[in-house]
Amino acid sequence: MSIRTYQGVAPQLGERVYVDESALVIGHVRMGHDSSIWPFAVARGDVNRIQIGERTNIQDGSVLHVVHAAPHNNGGIPLIIGDDVTVGHKAMLHAASIGNRCLIGMASVVLDGAVVEDEVIVGAGAVVPPGKRLEFRGLYVGNPARRLRELKQSDIDALLYSARHYVQVKELHRADQALRVRASRTE
């Protein structure tokens, strides 16, 4: 695990959190219980805070960052990610607010001050412009992201399935990680 303190502030990890050995978590990052950060993902809470909810997974190669405080932005913009969120491979989340039970698709980009309400799917490769609001229970696609349709109950069920599945998978990875640590101590 690569967990780094920045300016005296250390990441705070909830219970049963998994951070892959190749991932990087820096500074003012708070991760809720049963969340996970996968290979080569970066959560850099250096100039503002990142909050990751419970049972949320940040998949391989994703980048999480924030906006620093400046005279023109009234204290900067943190990155807030809710509970039961799946952030797909290579997604970039920058100083935005992501609700609960969302899917942020692979290689999508969510920019400064954007708000993704609860139960939203951001399609793969979509770009959410600064300050845009994605409303409750919608599927958004494209560049710039636009609402394609209302989510069905099966979509919402799939959001929860994804979050629960990643909780199970991260437990297997945590067990392997613990075995590697024990093995290295006996060598």
Residue 184 has pLDDT above 60, yes or no: yes
User: Is residue 145 within 8 Å of 134, Cβ to Cβ?
Assistant: yes
Name the domain count of the chain.
1
Banded pLDDT at 177 (limits 50, 70, 90): confident
How confident is the model at residue 1, as a pLDDT?
54
Q: Show the domain range for 165.
A: 2-186
> Which domain CATH number covers 40?
2.160.10.10
**Which residue's structure tokens are 């005296």?**
8
* Total residues belonging to the chain: 187
